[in-house]
Amino acid sequence: MKASIIGATGYAGVELVRLLACHPQVEIATITSESSTGENLAAMYPHLSQRIEQNLESMEQIQDIAAHSDVIFIALPHGHAMKIAKVLHDSPVKIVDLGGDYRFHDTKVFEQWYKVKHEDPDAKAVYGLTELYREQVAKAKLVANPGCYTTCSILALVPLFQAKLIETTNVIVDAKSGTTGAGRSLKAGSMYCQVNENFHAYGVATHRHTPEIEQIYSEFAQEEVIIQFTPHLLPADRGILATCYANLKPGVTAQEINVAYHAMYDGEYFIRLRGQGVCPEIKHVRASNYVDIGWQLDYRTNRIIAMSALDNLVKGAAGQAVQNMNVMFGLEEQAGLKQLPIYP
Amino acid sequence: MKASIIGATGYAGVELVRLLACHPQVEIATITSESSTGENLAAMYPHLSQRIEQNLESMEQIQDIAAHSDVIFIALPHGHAMKIAKVLHDSPVKIVDLGGDYRFHDTKVFEQWYKVKHEDPDAKAVYGLTELYREQVAKAKLVANPGCYTTCSILALVPLFQAKLIETTNVIVDAKSGTTGAGRSLKAGSMYCQVNENFHAYGVATHRHTPEIEQIYSEFAQEEVIIQFTPHLLPADRGILATCYANLKPGVTAQEINVAYHAMYDGEYFIRLRGQGVCPEIKHVRASNYVDIGWQLDYRTNRIIAMSALDNLVKGAAGQAVQNMNVMFGLEEQAGLKQLPIYP
Amino acid sequence: MKASIIGATGYAGVELVRLLACHPQVEIATITSESSTGENLAAMYPHLSQRIEQNLESMEQIQDIAAHSDVIFIALPHGHAMKIAKVLHDSPVKIVDLGGDYRFHDTKVFEQWYKVKHEDPDAKAVYGLTELYREQVAKAKLVANPGCYTTCSILALVPLFQAKLIETTNVIVDAKSGTTGAGRSLKAGSMYCQVNENFHAYGVATHRHTPEIEQIYSEFAQEEVIIQFTPHLLPADRGILATCYANLKPGVTAQEINVAYHAMYDGEYFIRLRGQGVCPEIKHVRASNYVDIGWQLDYRTNRIIAMSALDNLVKGAAGQAVQNMNVMFGLEEQAGLKQLPIYP
Amino acid sequence: MKASIIGATGYAGVELVRLLACHPQVEIATITSESSTGENLAAMYPHLSQRIEQNLESMEQIQDIAAHSDVIFIALPHGHAMKIAKVLHDSPVKIVDLGGDYRFHDTKVFEQWYKVKHEDPDAKAVYGLTELYREQVAKAKLVANPGCYTTCSILALVPLFQAKLIETTNVIVDAKSGTTGAGRSLKAGSMYCQVNENFHAYGVATHRHTPEIEQIYSEFAQEEVIIQFTPHLLPADRGILATCYANLKPGVTAQEINVAYHAMYDGEYFIRLRGQGVCPEIKHVRASNYVDIGWQLDYRTNRIIAMSALDNLVKGAAGQAVQNMNVMFGLEEQAGLKQLPIYP
Q: What is the 3-state secondary structure (H, E, C) of D63-121?
A: HHHHHCCCEEEECCCCCCHHHHHHHCCCCCCEEEECCCCCCCCCHHHHHHHHCCCCCCC
A48 → closest Cβ in C47, C283, C340: C340
Residues of D in contact with B314 (CB under 8 A): none
Cβ distance D279 to C200 less than 8 Å, yes or no, reads: yes
Q: What value does the mean pLDDT take over residues A281-310?
A: 98
Alpha helices in A124-276 (DSSP H): 130-139, 148-162, 192-195, 209-221, 254-265
Nearest chain A residue (CA) to C266: A50
Nearest to C199 by CA among C225, C234, C171: C234
**Residues of chain B contacting A241 with CB distance shorter than 8 Å:** 199-201, 232
Closest-CA residue of chain C to A237: C344
C-interface mutation test, from D198, D233, D276, most C Cβ less than 10 A away: D198
Q: SS3 for C192?
A: helix
The ranges assigned to domains in chain C are: 2-123, 149-312
Give the chain C residue whose CA is nearest to the CA of B236: C196
Over chain C, what is the mean pLDDT?
A: 98
Q: In B134-284, at which residue ranges do the beta strands (DSSP E only) sit?
A: 142-144, 171-177, 200-201, 227-233, 240-247, 271-276
Is D148 assigned a catalytic role?
A: yes
Neighbour count for residue B112 (Cβ, 10 Å)? 12
Answer yes or no: do B192 and C11 touch at CB < 8 A: no
* Strand locations in chain D (E): 2-6, 27-32, 71-74, 94-97, 126-127, 142-144, 171-177, 200-201, 227-233, 240-247, 271-276, 291-298, 303-310
At position A269, the amino acid (one-letter code) is Y
Measure the CA–CA gap between C202 and C309, rounded to whole angstroms. 19
Note the pLDDT of residue A53.
87
* Helix H or strand E segment including C296: strand C291-298
What tens digit of pLDDT does each residue of B166-215 get?
Answer: 999 999 999 999 999 999 999 999 999 999 999 999 999 999 999 999 99
Report helix, strand or coil for A241.
strand
CATH class of the domain comprising D2-123? alpha beta
Q: Which residues of B touch C (CB under 8 A)?
A: 11, 179-180, 184, 186-188, 190-197, 235-237
CA distances from B123 to B119, B189, C327 (A): 10, 36, 74
Please tell me which of the candidates D193, D201, D298 has its beta carbon nearest to residue C243: D201
Nearest CA-CA distance, residue A36 and chain D, Å: 15
| Mean pLDDT estimate for chain A | 98
Residues of A in contact with C341 (CB under 8 A): 47
Q: What is the pLDDT of residue D260?
A: 98
Three-state SS at C42: helix
Helix axes C107-114, C209-221, angle to 10 degrees: 150
- DSSP 8-state symbol, D148: H
Distance from CA of A320 to the nearest CA of C (A): 17
pLDDT grade, residue C53 (50/70/90)? confident
DSSP annotation of D147 reads P
**Of B236, B248, B172, which is closest to residue A230 (Cα–Cα)?**
B172
Q: Can you tell me the mean pLDDT for C262-291?
A: 98
Q: Indicate the helix (H) or strand (E) that contains A20.
A: helix A11-21
Average pLDDT over residues C117-133: 97
DSSP reduced 3-state for A266: coil
Query: How far is Cα D212 from Cα D225, in angstroms, rounded to an integer?
Result: 11
**Catalytic pick from D148, D152, D244, D279?**
D148
What confidence tens digit (pLDDT) does each residue in B248-276 have? 999 999 999 999 999 999 999 999 999 99
- The shortest CB-CB distance from C340 to any of A47, A269, A283 is to A47
Q: Say if residues B193 and B210 touch (Cβ distance below 8 Å).
A: no
Residues on chain A touching C286 (C-beta within 8 angstroms): 47, 342
Is a pLDDT exceeding 90 seen at residue B53? no
Q: Count the neighbouring beta carbons within 10 Å of the beta carbon of residue D25.
A: 14
Report chain D residues whose CB lies below 8 A from the CB of C234.
199, 234-235
Residues contacting D323, CB < 8 A, separation 6+: D130, D270, D289, D333, D334, D337
Contact B342 D342 (CB under 8 A): yes
What distance in Å separates residue D60's CA from the closest CA in chain C?
Answer: 39
CB contact under 8 A, A193 and D180: yes
Against chain A, the chains showing at least 3 CB pairs within 8 Å are B, C, D
**Res C192: pLDDT:** 98
Decide if A47 and C341 are in contact by the 8 Å CB cutoff.
yes
- Tell me which of A193, A195, A198, A286 to substitute to probe the interface with D (most D C-beta atoms closer than 10 Å): A193
CATH 3.40.50.450 for domain B2-146+315-328, yes or no, is: no
**C-beta atoms of C196 and B184 within 8 A:** no
pLDDT confidence tier of residue B88, bands split at 50, 70 and 90: very high
**What share of chain B in percent tops pLDDT 70?**
100
Give residue D259's pLDDT. 98
Q: Which chains would you list as touching B if contact means 3+ CB atom pairs under 8 Å?
A: A, C, D
Does ipTM come in above 0.85? yes
Pick from A184, A188, A196: which is nearest to D196 by CB? A196
Residues of C with CB under 8 A from a CB of A: 11, 14, 18, 21-22, 45-51, 180, 197, 237-238, 269, 272, 274, 281, 283-288, 292, 338-344
Contact A193 D187 (CB under 8 A): no
Residues of B forming the active site: 148
Nearest Cα of chain D lies from the Cα of A179 at a distance, in angstroms, of 7
Residue C179 distance to chain B (closest CA, Å):
7
Beta-ladder partners of D227: D171
pLDDT interval class at D53 (50, 70, 90): confident
Name the residue among C21, C307, C294 with its Cα closest to residue C176. Answer: C307
Q: Which residues of B touch D343 (CB under 8 A)?
A: 14, 18, 45, 47
D341: chain B residues, CB-CB within 8 Å:
47
Mutation pick from C245, C301, C311 vs chain D, by most beta carbons of D within 10 Å, is C301
Q: Is the peptide bond before B344 cis (omega within 30 degrees of 0)?
A: yes
Provide CATH code, domain B149-312. Answer: 3.30.360.10
| Chain A positions touching chain C (beta carbons under 8 Å) | 11, 14, 18, 21-22, 45-51, 180, 197, 237-238, 269, 272, 274, 281, 283-288, 292, 338-344
Residue C318 pLDDT > 90, yes or no? yes
Cβ-Cβ pairs closer than 8 A, A with B, add up to 148
In chain C, whose CA is at the least distance from the CA of D299?
C205
Mean pLDDT in residue range B12-19: 98
Give residue-wise pLDDT tens across range A19-40. Answer: 999 999 999 999 999 999 999 9
* Residue A144: band (very low, low, confident or very high) from pLDDT cuts 50, 70, 90: very high
Kindly state the average pLDDT of the residues A71-100.
98
Cα separation, D131 vs D272, in Å, equals 12
- Tell me which residue in B197, B279, B298 faces A202 most closely, judged by beta carbons: B279
Q: How far apart are the first and last CA of chain C?
A: 34
- What rounded mean pLDDT belongs to chain D? 98
CB-nearest partner of C237 from B11, B193, B237? B193
Distance between terminal CA atoms of chain B?
34
Q: Global pTM?
A: 0.98
Q: Which chains are adjacent to chain C, needing at least 3 Cβ pairs under 8 Å?
A: A, B, D
pLDDT for res A117: 97
How near does any CA of chain B get to the CA of D96, in Å? 22
> Residue C310, SS3?
strand
Chain A residue with CA closest to C17: the answer is A340
Parallel, antiparallel, or unpaired: how do β-strands D291-298 and D303-310 relate? antiparallel
Distance from the Cα of D77 to chain B's closest Cα (Å) equals 19
- Mutate which of B173, B174, B245 to test chain A, going by most A C-beta atoms within 10 A? B174
Interface of A with D (CB under 8 A): 11, 179-180, 184, 186-188, 190-197, 235-237
Per-residue DSSP letter, B33: -
Distance, C-alpha B334 to centroid of its chain: 16
Closest chain B residue by Cα to residue D290: B47
SS3 C169: coil
pLDDT at D152: 98
